[in-house]
């Protein structure tokens, strides 16, 4: 018998360049660069064909993300990154979705979609670029701006307590993955996003991201004093790499299935937990439902529709 | 009863028996009556009372066991039912009714209706109380659900073995066809989708007519399709596919649409008038073709069929590659151009209907045997179904008994590459498994079946007993040879369900009654001669031995076959027969006895190859045992020698000690007390250990010292090179934008120093200051003359 190799293709190997869609135009020193590189690295490590990847965003600095990925992309309306992503996933479950959304885009105008997208739990990775300010529109107060911080809309300082995206997301029904990381630690950023990518369901990752123009000092203290961060470790979370362990003196073994502890950690103000707070892969996924009948031909669909309509025949 | 005495003088009787045995002259001996049967089979004379494996329950769809006897199938089904006492108590009645209701000459009949009618008839005949009827009806309904709708009943007739093959082919192909059908349906739908999208790109899709039909009546009344058409431009965002791709898709879609897996036959049967397809209903679901020389035609027919399937699978592959978007003209086109059946996957090859040549063994043996040989080494999965007559050499013309028989199955094994099965309808389990093995094998297959039992009119005692006798009498031993099964004979050859494989001949206890009235029993072997007795054409090889014939020269057939040629030549073999209810010895002709000897030799050969009573093994075991025994002997002797030596030493020591004691006692008497028996030992001071040899007078020359390197001059320290803690780099482009030669990205898009001399110290410091990750370490200036160092050095120190 001779072997049939006709179905095999010469192996294609994707490098970082395969996912680089042109020079990124963010301010020099912007934390978004790190996130972009981390995502491109994960795509490369997983050898995802670029045509099987979709980057979806809303409006904001970070939402330029799809332009810099040489994959499919959708630069949506303000606050509408998540519904667009859900729409793509609901009928194309084979695509890998990366959602780039900012603190304004997600937590303010898009907050309604945020609640439901988390509840739908479709398989995608949601990256919340949280620089605690509206940067694109030149320094206005965003939902996550800490009180007292002076902005163009609150020259005497923000008045309300900041919205905590972690506690909020952990409170939504059917939440399946919540993590937090920082843009200035590429190792942890990459590991956290990789864990989020591997998680089946909506993985919500809040990335503390510096805006070199308007909030460069926002995380200066945290950056300087690594004791302000608490490294969460678990075999089901971010793997405890020795390099990371050396960087952070404060470490804690946290089981991502422990919701009560996750909520308590998310509430903390003095030390910021980084790593996976909550992950439960068993939560129901709406895309498994919405993707039914994909193999139906147009004729099948028409027949199904007709038979449904026939039920109303008198 | 043992035979009565004969009136003739004994010497004449002996002479008559010998004459018959050697010369086949039967005048002086009473002939065998037409009702004579081998003694062991007489109890089965009433065929109706014999419960056989038939009819068979066959499940071609793949649920449950493929083949089961009706009794077993009903029993197994009833076992899983709770309660159902009435049904369970009357299962045999139900079985009998189904059997009686079955009208089949070996073709399959749907089981469900028969089960239903037999159940209803039985329920009526049992005369149960109304509650009992209700319960039984319910249980019968339950029993129904335990059999799949496509369950079939197959009786024993001329076509049974052929049908079982076709059903086995169906059974083996069914799951593969199902998977193939799903694969086909999916890919056709996807290709249609692709083409539907393509059609929409056609400008004609925007024509007024197309828009009108798209909008329907109501839409057209609200919007003018003509006006809409005029404003719609060329579709954007998509270009039409290349014409050659379009042609390729159209072509494969046409092939795939025309392919309906449900219409594919279960098997393609080639025969030369050997079958009567109409009478056998074989053309239902199979293709039956008449070919002059089926064994010669089978390879060509397979190639034709494979060509058809090649076209299908090639199209399927192209379509799958196209819809996956991985079609690469340069890579795939050459492959698929030379695509043929040899490149089929196993599942694909198995989904093809097997091409089978049916022929009788005598046609094959007397005809073009070379064609069979070529088919068996063709490398193609063609199958040959050969019907042999167990009592006959396939080359013999008319004459039955022969001292040699051509073994087609054994010749098949000689081809090494082919799967060979020799089986019989008498053991349907073995037959079905053998068929499945042959079908699963991607090589040629030769199947030799007992055709005598099934072909032609029903023999005496019925087909099943007749076929069973051939198996029991080693006339048609069963075996299968699977060349792929392993590297040894033991793995490849299996002897299957042959009874009592350890023995040359099967032995059974025969209960009988002595003339004097007392019950007794005989241990009787069932030999090839016993099996031959069932054939009416073989009656001339037997004659009754009168009861008073002297016993000295008479031996049973099995004993005779165990004798050397020399010893056998002086003896006359006989078998026990039952004629008119009485037990007689029947003398067997020398010709038939030789045929039996040939059968015995073949059986011994098979057994040895199959690892049963293998001479090599026996010799190896004997050798190992002898070695083990010798080793034990050797060790025993060794131990005995050690023991004897120890004993001797002990004795010697004891004697010496006794003498010493005696001496001491005697000395004590004269010399007074001695302090001890041993004089005190002088304390000998050990001589001081000789002092180590004096150190050599001449001191070894001091080791030549390694020429000392000149003390390094305190050179001006090298410039400390700049470096980047790359893993911390956030890829922000800041430094790279500043000097792309000094700062370069690595494979992970993290910065490292490229050419340290390609930039100024000022740039390094500036980059370090602006780096958000603070991972740039500028070191010290390469160029000590760079202006502004006084300012830069303290700034750089923060990052070093």
Q: Does the pLDDT of residue B627 top 50, yes or no? A: yes
pLDDT tier at B136, thresholds 50, 70, 90: confident
Q: How many angstroms separate the CA of residue A34 from the nearest CA in chain B?
A: 4
The three-class DSSP label of residue A83 is: helix
Q: Global pTM?
A: 0.65
What pLDDT, on the 0 to 100 scale, is given for residue B504?
92
What pLDDT, on the 0 to 100 scale, is given for residue A82?
97
Which candidate, B87, B104, B194, B106, places its Cα nearest to that of B144? B87
- Using a CB-CB cut-off of 8 Å, the residues of chain B touching A5 are 335
What pLDDT, on the 0 to 100 scale, is given for residue A32?
94
Window B:311-370, CB contacts with A under 8 Å = 317, 320-321, 325-326, 328, 331-332, 335-336, 339, 342-345
Rounded to the nearest 10 degrees, the angle between the axes of helix B761-770 and helix B789-797 is 40
Can you read off the two tokens belonging to residue B143? Answer: 């029993």
Is-contact B730 A37, C-beta < 8 A? Answer: yes
Q: What is B737-771 written as a DSSP string?
A: HH-TTTEEE-TTS-EEES-GGGS-HHHHHHHHHH-
CB-CB under 8 Å, A34 with B731: yes
CB-CB under 8 Å, B732 with A34: yes
What pLDDT, on the 0 to 100 scale, is given for residue B742?
93
Angle A192-A197-A202 (CA atoms, 0-180°, nearest 5)?
A: 105
Q: What is B126-156 written as a DSSP string?
A: HT--HHHHHHHHHHHHHHHHTS-TT-EEE--
What pLDDT, on the 0 to 100 scale, is given for residue B699?
44
By C-alpha distance, the chain B residue nearest A217 is B772
Rounded to the nearest 10 degrees, the angle between the axes of helix A81-91 and helix A111-120 is 30
What tens digit of pLDDT does each residue of B137-184 get? 888 998 988 999 889 999 888 888 888 999 999 898 888 888 999 999
Report CA-CA distances (Å) from B152 to A38, B114, B279, B340: 63, 10, 19, 36
* Residue of higher predicted confidence among B36 and A81: A81
Q: CB contact, 8 Å: B278 with chain A?
A: no
What are B386's strand-pairing partners? B359, B448
* Residue of higher predicted confidence among B441 and B714: B441
- Least CB–CB distance from B331: residue in A10, A16, A243: A10
Q: How many angstroms separate the CA of residue B245 from the nearest CA in chain A?
A: 18
What pLDDT, on the 0 to 100 scale, is given for residue B434?
95
| Range with the poorest average pLDDT among A92-96, B467-471, B717-721, B763-767 | B717-721
Report CA-CA distances (Å) from B308 to A7, B256, B305: 20, 12, 5
- Using a CB-CB cut-off of 8 Å, the residues of chain A touching B737 are 28
Percent of chain B whose predicted confidence (pLDDT) is above 90:
35
- Least CB–CB distance from A184: residue in B335, B748, B773: B773
pLDDT tier at B1, thresholds 50, 70, 90: very low
Is-contact B463 B196, C-beta < 8 A? Answer: no
Q: What is B395-427 written as a DSSP string?
A: T-SS----S----HHHHHHHTSSSEEEEE-TTS
Q: How many angstroms separate the CA of residue B237 from the nearest CA in chain A?
A: 14
| Range with the poorest average pLDDT among A239-243, B6-10, B348-352, B627-631 | B6-10
First to last CA, chain A: 62
Q: Is B230 left (phi over 0), alpha (psi -120 to 50) or beta?
A: alpha
How far does CA B276 lie from the centroid of its chain? Answer: 33
Burial of B338 (0-12, 13-18, 19+ CB in 10 A): exposed
Burial of B88 (0-12, 13-18, 19+ CB in 10 A): middle
What tens digit of pLDDT does each residue of B253-296 get? 999 999 888 888 889 999 888 777 666 677 778 888 988 889 99
Torsion of CA B670, B671, B675, B680, to 10 degrees: -130
Return all residues near A277 (Cβ < 8 A) that are at least 6 apart: A166, A170, A178, A179, A180, A232, A254, A256, A262, A265, A266
By C-alpha distance, the chain B residue nearest A216 is B772
- Least CB–CB distance from B326: residue in A5, A9, A23: A9
Q: Count A/B contacts: CB-CB distance under 8 Å.
A: 87
Q: CB contact, 8 Å: B773 with chain A?
A: yes
What pLDDT, on the 0 to 100 scale, is given for residue B235?
55
Pairing of strands B493-494, B479-481: antiparallel
What pLDDT, on the 0 to 100 scale, is given for residue B664?
83
Identify the H or E element spanning B529. Answer: helix B528-533
Q: In B393-414, which positions are buried (b, 16+ CB within 10 angstroms) versus exposed (e)?
A: bbebeeebbbeebbbbbbbbbe
Can you read off the two tokens belonging to residue B376? Answer: 């068996």
By C-alpha distance, the chain A residue nearest B322 is A7
Show the low-confidence residues of chain A (pLDDT under 50). Answer: none
Window A:136-195, CB contacts with B under 8 Å = 183-187
Q: CB contact, 8 Å: B769 with chain A?
A: no
Q: Does the pLDDT of residue B7 top 70, yes or no? A: no
Mean pLDDT score, B366-387: 91
Give dist(CA B337, CA B689) in Å, integer.
96
Give dist(CA B182, CA B176) in Å, integer.
10
Q: CB contact, 8 Å: A131 with chain B?
A: no
What tens digit of pLDDT does each residue of B475-513 get? 999 999 999 888 888 889 998 889 998 899 999 998 888
What pLDDT, on the 0 to 100 scale, is given for residue A298?
80
pLDDT tier at B453, thresholds 50, 70, 90: confident
Q: Mean pLDDT across chain B, nearest whole number?
A: 84
Q: What is A156-220 written as a DSSP string?
A: T---SPPP-HHHHHHHSTT--EEEEEETT-HHHHHHHHHHHHHSSSEEEEEEE---TTT-TTTTH
What tens digit of pLDDT does each residue of B214-249 get? 777 777 777 777 777 777 665 555 677 888 989 999
Can you read off the two tokens belonging to residue B478? Answer: 């069963």
pLDDT tier at B694, thresholds 50, 70, 90: very low
Q: Does the pLDDT of residue B704 top 50, yes or no? A: no
Percent of chain B whose predicted confidence (pLDDT) is above 70:
90
- Using a CB-CB cut-off of 8 Å, the residues of chain B touching A2 are 342-343
Give dist(CA A194, CA A181) in Å, integer.
12
Q: CB contact, 8 Å: B182 with chain A?
A: no
Q: Does the pLDDT of residue B251 top 60, yes or no? A: yes
What tens digit of pLDDT does each residue of A234-280 get? 999 987 777 788 888 899 999 999 999 999 999 998 899 999 999 99
What pLDDT, on the 0 to 100 scale, is given for residue B774?
85
- Least CB–CB distance from A31: residue in B186, B332, B730: B730
What tens digit of pLDDT does each residue of B333-367 get? 888 888 899 989 888 898 899 999 999 888 888 88
Give dist(CA A94, CA A100) in Å, integer.
19
- Using a CB-CB cut-off of 8 Å, the residues of chain B touching A33 are 730-733
- Using a CB-CB cut-off of 8 Å, the residues of chain B touching A183 are 730
């Amino acid at each position: 018998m001779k072997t049939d190799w006709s179905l095999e293709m010469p192996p294609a190997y994707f490098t970082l360049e395969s996912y680089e869609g042109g020079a990124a135009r963010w301010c020099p020193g912007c934390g978004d660069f790190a996130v972009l590189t981390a995502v491109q690295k994960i795509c490369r490590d997983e050898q995802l064909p670029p045509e099987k990847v979709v980057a979806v965003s809303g409006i904001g600095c970070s939402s330029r993300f799809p332009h810099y990925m040489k994959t499919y992309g959708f630069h949506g309306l303000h606050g509408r990154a998540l519904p667009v992503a859900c729409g793509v996933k609901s009928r194309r479950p084979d695509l890998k979705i990366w959602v780039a959304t900012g603190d304004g885009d997600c937590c303010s105008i898009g907050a309604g979609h945020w609640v439901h997208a988390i509840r739908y739990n479709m398989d995608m990775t949601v990256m919340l670029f949280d620089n605690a300010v509206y940067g694109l529109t030149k320094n206005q107060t965003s939902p996550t701006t800490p009180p007292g911080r002076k902005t163009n809309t609150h020259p005497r300082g923000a008045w309300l307590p900041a919205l905590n995206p972690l506690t909020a997301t952990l409170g939504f029904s059917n939440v399946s993955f919540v993590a937090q990381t920082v843009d200035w630690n590429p190792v942890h950023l990459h590991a956290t996003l990789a864990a989020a990518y591997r998680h089946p369901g909506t993985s919500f990752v809040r990335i503390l991201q510096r805006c070199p123009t308007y909030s460069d000092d926002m995380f200066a203290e945290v950056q300087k004093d690594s004791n302000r961060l608490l490294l969460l470790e678990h075999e089901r979370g971010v793997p405890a790499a020795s390099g990371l362990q050396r960087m952070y003196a404060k470490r804690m073994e946290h089981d991502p299935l422990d919701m009560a502890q996750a909520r308590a950690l998310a509430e903390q103000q003095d030390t910021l937990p980084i790593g996976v707070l909550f992950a439960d892969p068993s939560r129901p996924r709406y895309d498994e439902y919405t993707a039914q009948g994909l193999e139906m031909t147009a004729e099948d669909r028409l027949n199904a529709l007709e038979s449904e309509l026939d039920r109303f025949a008198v | 009863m043992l035979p009565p005495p004969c009136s003739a003088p004994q010497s004449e009787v002996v002479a008559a028996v010998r004459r018959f045995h050697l010369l086949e002259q039967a005048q002086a001996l009473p002939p065998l009556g037409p009702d004579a049967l081998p003694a062991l089979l007489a109890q089965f004379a009433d065929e109706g009372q014999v419960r056989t494996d038939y009819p068979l329950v066959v499940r071609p769809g793949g649920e449950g066991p493929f083949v089961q006897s009706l009794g077993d199938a009903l029993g197994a089904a009833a076992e899983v039912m709770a309660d159902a006492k009435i049904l369970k108590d009357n299962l045999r009645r139900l079985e009998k009714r189904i059997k009686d209701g079955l009208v089949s000459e070996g073709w399959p009949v749907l089981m469900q209706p028969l089960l239903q009618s037999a159940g209803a008839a039985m329920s009526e005949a049992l005369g149960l109380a109304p509650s009992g009827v209700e319960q039984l009806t319910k249980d019968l309904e339950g029993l129904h659900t335990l059999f799949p709708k496509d369950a079939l009943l197959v009786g024993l007739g001329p076509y049974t073995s052929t049908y079982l093959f076709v059903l086995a082919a169906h059974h083996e192909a069914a799951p593969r066809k199902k998977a193939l059908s799903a694969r086909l349906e999916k890919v056709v739908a996807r290709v249609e989708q692709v083409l539907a999208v393509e059609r929409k790109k056609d400008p004609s899709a925007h024509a007024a007519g197309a828009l009108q039909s798209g909008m329907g009546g109501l839409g057209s009344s609200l919007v003018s399709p003509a006006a809409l058409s005029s404003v719609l431009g060329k579709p954007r965002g998509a270009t039409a596919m290349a014409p050659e791709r379009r042609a390729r898709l159209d072509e494969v879609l046409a092939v795939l649409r025309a392919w309906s897996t449900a219409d594919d036959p279960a098997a393609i049967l080639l025969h030369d008038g050997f079958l009567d397809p109409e009478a056998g209903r074989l053309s239902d679901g199979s293709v039956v073709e008449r070919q002059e020389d089926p064994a010669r035609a089978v390879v060509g027919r397979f190639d034709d069929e494979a060509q058809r399937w090649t076209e299908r699978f090639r199209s399927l592959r192209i379509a799958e590659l196209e819809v996956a978007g991985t079609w690469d003209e340069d890579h795939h086109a050459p492959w698929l151009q030379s695509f043929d059946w040899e490149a089929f996957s196993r599942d694909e090859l198995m989904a093809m209907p097997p091409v089978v040549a049916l022929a009788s063994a005598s046609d094959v043996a007397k005809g073009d045997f070379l064609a069979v040989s070529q088919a068996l080494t063709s490398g193609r999965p063609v199958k040959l179904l050969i019907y042999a007559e167990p009592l006959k050499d396939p080359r013999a013309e008319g004459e039955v008994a022969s001292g040699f028989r051509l073994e087609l199955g054994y010749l098949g094994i000689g081809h090494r590459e082919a799967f060979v099965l020799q089986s019989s309808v008498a053991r349907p389990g073995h037959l079905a498994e053998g068929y499945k093995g042959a079908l699963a094998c991607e090589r040629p297959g030769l199947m030799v079946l007992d055709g005598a039992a099934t072909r032609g009119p029903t023999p005496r005692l019925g087909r099943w007993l007749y076929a069973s006798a051939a198996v029991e009498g080693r006339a048609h031993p069963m075996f299968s040879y699977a060349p792929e099964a392993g590297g040894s004979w033991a793995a490849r050859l299996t002897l299957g369900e042959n009874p009592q494989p350890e023995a040359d001949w099967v032995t059974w206890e025969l209960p009988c009654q002595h003339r004097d009235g007392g019950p007794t029993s005989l241990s009787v072997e069932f030999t090839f001669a016993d099996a031959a007795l069932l054939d009416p054409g073989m009656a001339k090889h037997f004659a009754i031995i009168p009861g008073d014939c002297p016993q000295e020269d008479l031996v049973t057939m099995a004993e005779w076959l165990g004798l050397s040629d020399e010893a056998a030549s002086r003896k006359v073999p006989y078998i026990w027969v039952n004629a008119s209810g009485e037990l007689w010895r029947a003398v067997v002709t020398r010709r038939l006895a030789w045929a039996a000897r040939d059968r015995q030799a073949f059986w011994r050969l098979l057994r040895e190859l199959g690892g049963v009573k293998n001479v090599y093994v026996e010799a190896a075991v004997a050798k190992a045992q002898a070695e083990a025994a010798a080793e034990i002997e050797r060790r025993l002797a060794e131990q005995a020698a050690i023991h004897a030596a120890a004993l001797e030493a002990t004795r010697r020591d004891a004697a010496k000690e006794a003498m010493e004691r005696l001496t001491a006692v005697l000395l004590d008497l004269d010399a007074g007390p001695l302090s001890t028996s041993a004089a005190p030992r002088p304390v000998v001071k050990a001589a001081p250990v000789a002092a180590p040899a004096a150190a050599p007078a001449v001191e070894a020359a001091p080791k030549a010292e390694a020429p000392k390197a000149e003390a390094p001059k305190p050179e001006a320290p090298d410039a400390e090179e700049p470096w980047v803690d790359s893993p911390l780099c956030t890829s922000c482009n800041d430094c790279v934008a500043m000097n792309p030669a000094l700062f370069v990205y690595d494979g992970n898009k993290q910065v490292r120093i490229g050419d340290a001399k390609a930039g100024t110290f000022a740039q390094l410091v500036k980059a370090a200051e602006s780096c958000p990750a603070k991972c740039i370490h500028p070191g010290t200036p390469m160029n000590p003359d760079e202006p502004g160092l006084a300012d830069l050095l303290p700034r750089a120190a923060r990052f070093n």
